[in-house]
Amino acid sequence: MKLFGLTGGIGMGKSTAAEILGQRGIPFVDTDAIAREVVAPGQPALVEVQRLFGPEIVGADGRLRRDELARRVFADDDARRKLEAVLHPAIRKIWLAQTESWRAEGKPVGVVVIPLLFETNAASHFDATICVACSGATQRKRLLARGLSDGQTDQRIKAQLAIEEKMLRADYVVWTEGSAEVHAEQLARIIPPRG
């Protein structure tokens, strides 16, 4: 099996890339989705997050107050590192198990979407890495459309490796300024359709 790690800056097209690949029948796992699973009510990671950040980080419904946690960790590098120390090992365990399952099933290719692929030293797990990228202006426009303020956008961009560095480290770069069709064409050159 050829295993690809897909990364990129926030708002640069990782989810769109995964959707395009999924429509082509290529198995993928998105670590953002895993991150939500590991802090679901009753999960050990949620208990640890609550221990670190206080009981008010969990709502009356037993769910993580994601907005409040984001407000804290993106304003404080030390708090973000503490959160990552809890979440990243749990997330990695799950995506590694998924890739082993694909191998056992004889899948020819698989993709793991990891926003912090290089930051978490995960590149060695992959046969190749893909970075999706766009201009800073487009990134800001996309994040503002998601409802993030200028300040929140700045904090999230600062929390990741510079996109230029991600592009340099990646084996492939997909430029996402254009349409979804152009995005799909670039991905098809990297992971050709089978059959």
- Please give the structure tokens belonging to residue 182: 């152009």
pLDDT in tens, 29-60: 999 999 999 999 999 999 999 999 999 999 99
Helix (H) or strand (E) holding 38: helix 31-38
In DSSP terms, 3 is beta-bridged to 110
Rounded Cα distance between 163 and 135, Å, is: 9
pTM > 0.85: yes or no: yes
Per-residue pLDDT for 195 more than 80? Answer: no
pLDDT in tens, 6-16: 999 999 999 99
What's the average model confidence in pLDDT over 82-103?
97
Residue 19 domain-assigned? yes
How high is the mean pLDDT of the chain? 95
What's the average model confidence in pLDDT over 163-176?
97
CATH code of the domain containing 132: 3.40.50.300
Sign of CA dihedral 105, 110, 116, 117: positive
pLDDT in tens, 110-133: 999 999 999 999 999 999 999 999
Residue 132 domain-assigned? yes
For residue 193, what pLDDT is reported? Answer: 82
Residue 131 domain-assigned? yes
Residue 34: give the domain boundaries: 2-190
Number of domains forming the structure of the chain: 1
Rounded Cα distance between 112 and 6, Å, is: 6
What's the average model confidence in pLDDT over 131-155?
93
Residue 195 domain-assigned? no
What's the average model confidence in pLDDT over 141-167?
93
Residue 174 domain-assigned? yes
Report percent pLDDT > 90 for the chain. 92
